[in-house]
Amino acid sequence: MPQFTNVKVSKVSEQTSLFEEALKPLKRAANIVNLEPDVVEVLSNPEQMLIVSIPVKMDDGRIKVFTGYRVRHNTSRGPAKGGIRYHPGVCLDEVKSLAFWMSVKNGVVGVPFGGGKGGITCNPKKMSEGELERLTRGFAARIAKFVGLDQDIPAPDVGTTAQIMGWFTDEYCKIVGKIVPGVITAKPLSIGGSKGRGTATGRGAFFATLEAAKTFNIPLKGARVSIQGYGNVARPIARDLYEMGCKIVAVSDSTGGAYNPKGMHPIELTKFKTRTRSVKGFPGSKEITTIDPITVDCDILIPAALENQITKKNANNVKAKLIIEEANGPTTPEADKILHERGTIVVPDVLANAGGVTVSYFEWVQNRMGYYWSDEEVDEKLKQAIHKAFKAVYQNAQQYQVDSSKAPQQSLMDLRTAAYVTAIKKIVDAMRALGRI
């Protein structure tokens, strides 16, 4: 049976620093808004954590047991919301960090959700479709009492797909004995998914890029773009920026990368990766490593892979003027400080990649109404949401600017801290209204 734990559960020893690192921007923002230490302590701990074992019959007849997690960080503003990750590196410390970031992200973009996240320690690339389906249905059965339409609403993340969400939905509905399409988002359109959800994270990042370029006077026509992690999240923004006149000069995935200073066509890159399962070896390109896009000569850098890719070891070698964080937590706090001191604009993950959860919210609303919007309606609502969120974050950055004698981008509070200030105010207001603090 699933075991519910309180916040005193032991951390996973090999990654003890990840959650502590994730909390550093919270503590900086809390100091700025004079938040009481006991309130910071509440925000520094998840509300609930669930760890489950999932026995799965593999194709060769063996029974293999997988470990799954679901964490709810804070539900003061609404049901927990956050994806399910299938990856070999999934552990409790990582899921706690991701759930915390979701609380902040939902606060920044203004959707009425708290933060949640889940994951299974596995390698989906080495599993058959049947094994993935059995794993997903087993996980859904294990956490069915922990999730729900008004309780905790999962979605895809690294290593999961719309089809996996479909299997999860089916298993959950069987268990509860009724049709509840809104229990999970980013489902296939045929079972209640929202139009625009498949490209929402990339589309939202594109809108954030437009806002940043306009705000900081960064020309997009001819801008050189480097992307680490050329998957489903990055492809839409690559296409949109290309259509704006940008040049995609570098891309990478888990197997390697491709670099061409003259630029590469994003659609052709996608076709090549679909055919070969890698961007490495793309015609006309130079082969580079997975991490190289971080430091190539470019104007805009888009880290869209995993956490902790920009660190104090490589931050001084970043040449981009603007960083759009499509991945969760790609920049360490030490690297953040270096980048800000060098005048690099970083649009943080909790703003830049909020398009996914925003359209997931739209999907949840549509599921509850039983009425569905067009592509154009979804896109316009997403654009307005990102515009509003960016404006609020930038206003906080201006309000708390640190030193007017510096260059404009350095005198501003960094956008990450400003985003955390934006979110924390909303979360704390909700906690006080509920009498939780």
Q: How far is CA 67 from the centre of its chain?
A: 22
Other beta carbons within 10 Å of 262 = 8
- Which amino acid is it at 99? A
Structure tokens at 17: 């620093």
Question: Distance of CA 81 to CAs 104, 137, 176, 184, 231, Å?
Answer: 11, 20, 20, 9, 22
Tell me if 293 sits within 8 A of 316, measured CB to CB. no
Count of helices and strands (H, E) across the chain:
14, 14
Question: Distance of CA 350 to CAs 269, 281, 332, Å?
Answer: 27, 33, 14
117 catalytic residue (yes or no): yes
Dist CA 406 CA 200 (whole Å):
36
Cα dihedral sign for 45, 158, 195, 131? Answer: negative
Structure tokens at 403: 């030193």
Q: What is the DSSP letter of 226?
A: E
Distance between terminal CA atoms of the chain? 32
Residue 106 CB burial class (10 angstroms; 0-12, 13-18, ≥19): buried
Residue 376 CB burial class (10 angstroms; 0-12, 13-18, ≥19): exposed
Alpha helices in 216-265 (DSSP H): 234-243
The full DSSP string for 260-327 is EEEEE-HHHHHHHHHHHSSSTT-TT-EEE-SSGGGTSS-SEEEE-S-SS-B-TTTGGG---SEEE--S
259's enclosing H/E stretch is: strand 256-264
| Residues whose CB is less than 8 angstroms from the CB of residue 368 and which lie 6 or more positions away in sequence, other chains included | 149, 182
Q: Which of 81, 96, 117, 187 is catalytic?
A: 117
Tell me if 100 sits within 8 A of 23, measured CB to CB. yes
Which residues are part of the catalytic machinery?
A: 117
